[in-house]
Amino acid sequence: MSDASAGKALAASTLAGKRVLVSAGPTFEDIDPVRFVGNRSSGKMGFAVAAAARALGAEVVLVAGPVHLDTPDGVTRIDVRSAAQMHTAVLGALPADAYVAAAAVADFTPRRVSEHKIKKTAGSDTLVLELVRTPDILAEVAAHARRPALVVGFAAETHEVERYARGKLANKRLDLIAANLVGGAQGGFERDDNALVVYWEGGERQLGPAAKTEVAAQLVQLIAERLQA
């Protein structure tokens, strides 16, 4: 076997025997049978992470919000729609060696879902929705009795990326947090490329800018390093 072949064989088994749980995509919080509150997450980054983890030999469970993406080869996929459904699916998929929370989970959901389509009424130009907080899936996993050895969060921010990311890292007691700037030309939602800075207590690492598949491979390599440490 050549040195190159040996390297590939080693890489393909780096996460053999490990179970990696990934959440990806948006959640849709229904208002009525035809309307919902959602966000712009495409799910591409989370799906790329799932594929990269599987490529390194991990058993991968992917909890996916409503996206139009093909399931990566060899990955077990659980489809959900709402934050409540994602909460149930993620906790139900524990235990795992690593949890990568790449999903953009809604922070709020309508208190009540109308049974019928809400109609416009004469003389009214506004609609008031009462929203309530959704479960904090990432924080619950980080505090769970069956907590994975490595809990990885994501922080998509429009400004002060490091400050908000490190705050989330500490407040939710995460092991790693992958942060990026969104809302401009730097990358993020609805794109095929991305750039992340991964923070942990006492360190950081820049990933990309590159295609999301490459950035995901770099992130999974870092996860493998931490699991083996």
Decide which of 94 and 187 is more confident.
94
Q: Is 32 exposed, middle or buried (0-12, 13-18, 19+ CB in 10 A)?
A: middle
Q: What is the pLDDT of residue 194?
A: 87
Is residue 116 pLDDT above 50, yes or no? yes
Is residue 7 pLDDT above 50, yes or no? no
Indicate the CATH number of 13-107+130-228 among 2.40.50.90, 3.60.15.10, 3.40.50.10300, 1.25.40.10: 3.40.50.10300
Is residue 2 pLDDT above 60, yes or no? no
Give the whole-angstrom CA distance, residue 31 versus residue 117: 9
Q: In this structure, which amino acid lies at residue 46?
A: G
CA-atom Rg of the chain in angstroms: 19
Report how far apart, in Å, the C-alpha atoms of 93 and of each of 27, 33, 104, 134, 223 are.
Answer: 18, 29, 18, 19, 19
Is residue 210 pLDDT above 90, yes or no? yes
Q: What is the pLDDT of residue 1?
A: 36
Is residue 189 pLDDT above 80, yes or no? no
* Global confidence as pTM: 0.90
- The owner of tokens 């997450």 is 41
Nearest alpha-carbon partner for 216 in 195, 185, 191: 195
Domain boundaries along the sequence of the chain: 13-107+130-228
- Report, as residue numbers or ranges, the catalytic residues: 39
Least confident of 40-49, 109-118, 122-131, 147-156: 122-131
